[in-house]
């Protein structure tokens, strides 16, 4: 292609630079046997922030689709002696989520219908203008956004979590909600702290829902659940063959959350090998997929959460100080449930409504004794433990009102102080003692020190007693 022709193409592109669509930048495969079409589309797509790989034939298109992930394929219907129609189902078989735009100089209703039947998403006749490409890309982007929203909704439904109201009579929780509401409209990184089970994920999702990014994806990664390499792959993505088991490209959670929010749960457990890469992404919005040298950009907001003291982790040298400061722009600390007993009754009633509907029951509420027990219990497991207790009570209750007898034994035991010499087992005394120490301690290490045991033993006992 001559320099003059390239200059003309760029000038035409600039004339349409005001045409905007969603910022979901894509990795695009262009399949056309005409060199000028491939170069024109490549220059135009890359000027719009996309990455474009161009091939001229059926065989190369098939090979490239097996090597890497593509969000979109632009396919010519006539590829020498072969048909682009036959390529459509092949591309979709390897990547069902791929969108396909068909282009042809021989546009007829029959060919358009056949292309759609085989899985194409849209259709452009030759010759086409940049404006026509823009319109089609805008439609494709809208479809992708809608699919992600549906996927997020399906995930919420599958999680089957009761929706809690964001109101409280507790001053500390009122401050939490006020700060969350203020920071939602900003682009600041948010660090949510608080004991396990206090609702950090729920608050992170609320911040996303209250933000300008609400129409875009909300993703969650649990940092302790994966090894360093797998966590890096889940976060940034990987290319085929980058490690054992990497049979296909993975775009990563950052790319899939483009324009939205990524929530990193238990960030204190982020492997040290991944910390500098996350820091770079937060600062520069740039990253590379595992096994790939191509630098990519993404517009994703980061919200992190931890039940540990990150400053202690920094002091011990297991968490980067610079990453801590980048994460700690806005810190929101959620108090444990034991510090806001006035909220327990309202939260329990909200959960009661949810689980009653889920179990096809009509329950009117809790007895006075049951409410007294709920308010007086220390809730070392916080909202998660309250949720389990209410769900259990709903399942076991065959009356209209949940009574004390429907609540877990540990809550009933809590109503009477146990003294040395009382007719109770050592197991019961140990369980109650561990629960109270854990609930009153700032960290698990502090609780272990008070109990005179190591963290591994404490972990085992918490698992035994379902703490």
- Domain residue extents for the chain: 3-147, 160-333, 338-464
Dihedral, 141, 145, 147, 151 alpha carbons, nearest 10:
150
The answer to which of 88-102, 104-118, 398-412, 453-467 has the lowest mean pLDDT is 104-118
Query: Between the CA of residue 59 and those of 33, 62, 71, 248, 277, what are the distances in Å?
Result: 12, 5, 19, 18, 36
| pLDDT at residue 13, as a whole number | 43
Tell me which of 228 and 91 has the higher pLDDT.
91
Q: Looking at 260-309, list the stretches that DSSP marks H as alpha helix, in order from N- to C-terminal side.
A: 275-284
Predicted pLDDT at 162: 67
Whole-number pLDDT of residue 21: 39
- Domains 3-147 and 160-333 fall in the same CATH topology: yes
3-class state of residue 176 by DSSP: helix
Q: Residue 131: its pLDDT value, please?
A: 86
Lowest mean per-residue pLDDT among 121-125, 161-165, 204-208? 161-165
Q: What local confidence, expressed as pLDDT, does residue 363 receive?
A: 92
For residue 280, the model assigns a pLDDT of 96
Q: Does residue 2 surpass a pLDDT of 60?
A: no
pLDDT given for residue 3 in this prediction: 45
Q: Residue 466 has what pLDDT?
A: 66
Residue 159 pLDDT grade (very low, low, confident, very high; cuts 50, 70, 90):
low
CB atoms within 10 A of CB 41: 21
Quote the pLDDT of residue 23.
46
Q: What pLDDT is stored for residue 439 in this prediction?
A: 65
Across the range 46-56, mean pLDDT stands at: 89
Judge whether 162 and 354 are in contact, CB under 8 Å: yes
pLDDT at residue 88 above 60?
Answer: yes
Least confident of 85-94, 245-254, 280-289: 245-254
The predicted pLDDT at position 323 comes to 96
Tell me the β-bridge partners of 54. Answer: 30
Specify the fold of 3-147: Rossmann fold (3.40.50)
What is the token pair recorded at 99?
């969108």
Q: Pick the residue with more confidence: 29 or 415?
A: 29
| pLDDT given at position 338 | 87
- Class of the domain covering 338-464: mainly alpha
- Quickly state the pLDDT bin for 81 (edges 50, 70, 90): confident
Average pLDDT of the residues in 227-246: 83
**Taking the CA of residue 97 as centre, how many other CA atoms within 13 Å lie in the half-sphere pointing to its CB?**
16
192: tokens are 């949510």
In this predicted structure, which of 294-298, 333-337, 417-421 has the lowest mean pLDDT? 417-421
User: What pLDDT sits at residue 375?
Assistant: 87
Task: Please name the helix (run of DSSP H) or strand (run of DSSP E) that holds residue 124, with its range, or none.
Answer: strand 122-125
Whether domain 160-333 has CATH 3.40.50.300: the reply is: yes
- Radius of gyration of the chain from its Cα atoms, rounded to whole angstroms: 28
**Averaged pLDDT for residues 10-20:** 40
Q: What is the mean pLDDT of residues 179-201?
A: 94
pLDDT category at 286 given cuts 50, 70, 90 is very high
Chain position carrying tokens 């007294």: 372
């Amino acid at each position: 292609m001559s320099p003059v022709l390239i200059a003309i193409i760029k000038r035409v592109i600039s004339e349409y630079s005001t045409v905007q669509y969603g910022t979901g930048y894509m990795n695009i495969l262009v399949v056309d046997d005409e060199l000028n079409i491939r170069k024109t589309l490549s220059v135009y797509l890359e000027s719009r922030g996309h990455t474009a790989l161009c091939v001229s034939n059926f065989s190369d298109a098939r090979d490239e689709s097996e090597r890497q992930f593509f969000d979109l394929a632009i396919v010519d219907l006539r590829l020498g002696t072969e048909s682009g129609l036959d390529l459509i189902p092949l591309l979709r078989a390897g990547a069902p989520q791929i969108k396909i735009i068909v282009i042809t100089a021989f546009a007829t209703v029959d060919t358009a219908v056949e292309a759609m039947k085989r899985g194409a998403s849209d259709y452009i006749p030759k010759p086409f203008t940049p404006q026509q490409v823009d319109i089609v890309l805008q439609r494709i982007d809208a479809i992708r956004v809608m699919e992600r929203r549906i996927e997020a909704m399906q995930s919420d439904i599958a999680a089957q979590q009761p929706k809690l109201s964001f109101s409280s009579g507790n001053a500390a929780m009122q401050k939490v909600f006020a700060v969350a509401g203020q920071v939602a409209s900003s682009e600041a990184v948010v660090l949510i702290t608080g004991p396990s089970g206090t609702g950090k994920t729920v608050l992170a999702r609320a911040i996303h829902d209250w933000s300008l990014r609400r129409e875009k994806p909300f993703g969650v990664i649990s940092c302790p659940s994966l090894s360093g390499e797998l966590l890096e792959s889940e976060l940034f993505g990987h290319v085929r063959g980058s490690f054992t088991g990497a049979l296909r490209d993975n775009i990563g959670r950052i790319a899939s959350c483009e324009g939205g929010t990524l929530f990193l749960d238990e960030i204190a457990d982020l492997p040290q090998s991944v910390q500098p890469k996350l820091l770079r992404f937060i600062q520069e919005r740039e990253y590379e997929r595992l096994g790939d040298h191509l630098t990519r950009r993404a517009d994703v907001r980061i919200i992190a959460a931890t039940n540990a003291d990150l400053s202690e982790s920094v002091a011990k040298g297991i968490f980067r100080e610079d990453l801590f400061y980048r994460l700690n722009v806005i810190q929101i600390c959620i108090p444990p449930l034991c510090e806001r007993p006035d909220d327990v009754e309202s939260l329990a009633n909200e959960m009661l409504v949810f689980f009653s509907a889920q179990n096809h029951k009509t329950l009117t509420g809790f007895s006075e004794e049951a409410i007294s027990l709920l308010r007086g219990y220390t809730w070392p497991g916080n909202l998660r433990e309250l949720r389990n207790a209410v769900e259990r009570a709903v399942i076991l209750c065959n009356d209209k009102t949940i009574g004390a007898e429907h609540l877990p034994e540990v809550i009933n035991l809590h109503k009477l102080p146990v003294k040395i010499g009382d007719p109770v087992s050592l197991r019961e005394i140990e369980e109650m003692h561990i629960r109270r120490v854990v609930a009153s301690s700032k960290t698990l290490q502090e609780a272990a020190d008070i109990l005179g045991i190591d963290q591994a033993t404490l972990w085992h006992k918490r698992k035994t007693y379902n703490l």
